[in-house]
Chain A
Amino acid sequence: MKLLTPLFRDREIIGPVQEEGRVYFRSLESVADLAWEFGNTVNNIKDFFFPPRQVLYELTGGGVKDAIPAPAGRRVILFARPCDARAIEILDQLFLNDFRDEHYAAQRENTLIIGLSCPEPDKKCFCVSLSGGPFSVKGMDASVCDIGNDEFMVGIETGKAENIFTGQGREAGSDALNRAAEMKKKSEEKIKRAINIPADMLQKFDSDYWKAASAACLTCGVCTYLCPTCHCFDIVDERFKRVRCWDTCSSAMFTRLASGEDHRREKFKRYRQRVYHKFNFYSEKYHETACVGCGRCARYCPVKMDIVEIVNNLK
C-alpha cells in the first residue's frame, strides 16, 4: 500500500477492482480500491490503448477536428498479469508500424505498465506453451512480485519506470531472489495446459474438421472482446463524428459486401478464420502468435468452446 500511494499523485491509476463478484480493470480513485487477490481480470489492458469506442475525428463548421487523445496527465496501469502485458507488445506491432495509429500511440507513450507476477495460474491458463510465462516481464515497465512476508520484489524493466519507486525499498538480497525464483518454478509447473500448433496447420485449412469444431459457436464475440490480442474494429459515421469500435470476425456481417457477396457466409469459415489468424496467419506476417495463453476465451465462452482443444485436436 505504502509503496503505491506516491504513484497516485498526478497520475491516473488503472488497476483491478472487485465488482459484483468479479475483478475488472478500472480507473481507481485510491489505493484502497485495489483488488489484491485475483486470478486474472475479466477485461484486459488493451481497453486502455484501444478502447471499445473511440472518436477518430469530427467534422465541424471550421473543418476537420482530429480527436487524437492529448492526455493531460500520465497514467499507470497497475498489476497487469504477464499475459496481458505481453499482449500489448503484440498489439504495438500492428498499431505502431507502417501507417502509425496516433490514437493508440498517444495513450501508449503516456502510460506506464506495472505488472504483477502470477504465482497461482488457473486451470485455463496456457501462457508457457506460447513463449510466455507466469513470471515473464515482457511488455512491463516495472514488475511486482509478492514474495511473502509482506515483501515485494520490484523489477525496473524499462527506462520509463526508473524514477517511480525512488527512495523506496532496497536492493534485493539473495534470499529474496531465491524465494522469487522458487515461486516462478512452482508456478510454471502448475500450468499443465499446453497448446500444440500443428506444423501442417495450413494444409488442414480445407478439412471438414472445422464444421464440427465450430458447430457450438454462437458468434457472440465474447472471446474477441475479452482477448488481449484481438484488435479488429469497425469504422462508422455517427452524424459528424467518425468513430471506431470493436468488432469481431465471427460476426455474420464482418465480410459482407453491400452487394450481398460474402466469402465467409458460413459460420465455420468465420470460426476457422479466427483460429488461423491467431495461430497461423498473423505469425507469418508479424512473427508472433496472436495469442498469449490467458485463457479468457475458454473461461467466458457461453458454450464452453475451448480453443486449445480445438487446435490440439486438429485433423
Chain B
Amino acid sequence: MKNVYTPESARISSVKIETRDIKTFKLVFEDENARNSFVFAPGQFVELSAPAAGEATFCIASAPSDRGYIECSVKRVGRVTEAIHMLNPGSIVGIRGPYGNSFPLEAIKEKNVIFVGGGIGLAPLRSLIREVLARRNDFAEIKIIYGARAVRDLVYKDDLDEWQTRDDINTILTVDPGGETPDWKGKVGFVPAILKEIAPAAAGSVVITCGPPIMIKFTLAALNGLGFQPGQIITTLEMKMKCGVGKCGRCNIGPLYVCKDGPVFTCEQIKNFIEDVF
C-alpha cells in the first residue's frame, strides 16, 4: 500500500552555482530500485523535500537520456528554496514523482521548433532541448531565444555555449536593457521584443515557451501578431502546488489541475483561463 505523500530518498551528488540565486542540484536516488524505476519525459516535475523544512515543485531540468541522475534547478525565493540552497553534496533530500504530463515530442516532429525562454524558465525547456538535440534529425529548423534580466542571470551557461557553437540550430541570447556587460556579444532587449525582431514564420512551426508570467503575456501577444494559432504554442505553467497528485486543489485552474493535466499545455487548452494565469 503506497503512501502517495511519502518521498523517496536521494543524495545530492553535485551542486552547480548558476547565478547569484540559482543552483542546479544533481540528484541520485539512494535505492537502486528507485533509480531504475524512475522513468520520466521532458516537462514532468518532482516534489523535492528539504527534510524538516518543506517540499516544493521543481521541473526536471535534465533529459531522460542523461542517465543515472536527475537535475533540478532551484531559485532561492523563500523558505523551502532557502533550505535547499543550504544543502551540500552528500546531503539527503526527498523526491516524489515524476508527476505531470510531458511535452508532446511526437506531435512536434518534423516541425520548426522555436524555444522562447526567460530566466529560470529555461529549466523545463532544457530537458526538452537536450532530448530534441539528441535526435536532431527528427525536427526541422530549431531556434532558441533565451534571455534574462542581466548577463549574470543567464542559466545553464555551459549549455548555452554548446548550443551557440552548433551550426544546426540557431541560438539567440538577450538580456534586458541595462543588463549587458561591456563584452556582451548577444542582443539587448526584452525577450518578446527580440522574438518580434526574429519574426519566425508561423507555418509549420511550433513554439515552446516558459518564463515569468509577464514575459509569457507579451510573448503570446507577439506570437499572435506573427500569425501563430493558440494550438501552435506550448507552454508549461507554474502554479503553487502542494500534493502534486490532483487532490489538494491548490493548482486547480478551470477544470484542469496543473499537476495532473499539466504542467504542459497548449494555449488552445488554457485559452479560456489565460487571463486568470498571465
Contacts and interface: CB of A to CB of B under 8 A. Distances in A.
Interface stretch (A13-21, A94-102, A130-138): A94-102
Interface residues of B, number: 40
B242 A233 contact: yes
B250 A239 contact: no
B247 A64 contact: no
Interface in B254-276: 254-255, 260, 272, 275-276
Given A59-B52, A240-B52, A255 B250 contact: yes
A26 interface: no
A244 B5 contact: yes
Interface string A208-232: 0000000000000000000000011
A110 to B, nearest CB: 14
4 tightest Cβ-Cβ pairs between the two chains A and B: A258-B78, A232-B249, A99-B245, A284-B255
A124 interface: no
B5 A237 contact: no
Contact of A231 (B212, B247, B260): B247
Interface string A233-244: 111110110101
B90 to A, nearest CB: 18
A298 B6 CA distance: 38
B238 A263 contact: no
Contacts of B255: 280-282, 284-285
Interface in A153-188: none
A205 B255 CA distance: 13
Given A99-B247, A258-B78, A258-B81, A66 B3 contact: yes
Interface in B193-251: 212-213, 238-240, 242-243, 245-250
B16 interface: no
23 contacts: A56-B3, A57-B3, A59-B52, A64-B6, A66-B3, A68-B1, A102-B1, A233-B248, A233-B249, A235-B5, A237-B52, A240-B51, A244-B5, A244-B248, A247-B248, A249-B250, A256-B240, A257-B77, A257-B240, A263-B239, A277-B249, A277-B252, A281-B252
B2 interface: yes
Nearest to A57: B6
A202 interface: yes
Contacts of A102: 1-4
Interface size on A, as a range, is 35 or more
B55 interface: yes
Contacts of B247: 94-95, 99, 101, 231, 233
B246 A98 contact: yes
Instruction: Tell me if B's interface is mostly helix, strand, loop or mixed.
Output: loop
A5 interface: no
Q: Output the residue of B2, B6, B51, B79 with the most chain A CB within 10 A.
A: B6
Interface of A: 56-57, 59, 64, 66, 68, 94-95, 98-103, 202, 205-206, 231-237, 239-240, 242, 244, 247, 249, 254-259, 261, 263-264, 269, 273, 276-277, 280-282, 284-285
B98 interface: no
A44 B55 CA distance: 30
Contacts of A94: 246-247
B53 interface: yes
Contacts of A98: 245-246, 260
B238 A257 contact: yes
A277 B272 CA distance: 15
Nearest to A205: B272
B118 to A, nearest CB: 13
Interface string B76-111: 011111000000000000000000000000000000
A57 B245 CA distance: 17
B260 to A, nearest CB: 7
Contacts of B5: 56-57, 103, 235, 242, 244
B250 A232 contact: yes
Contacts of B78: 258-259
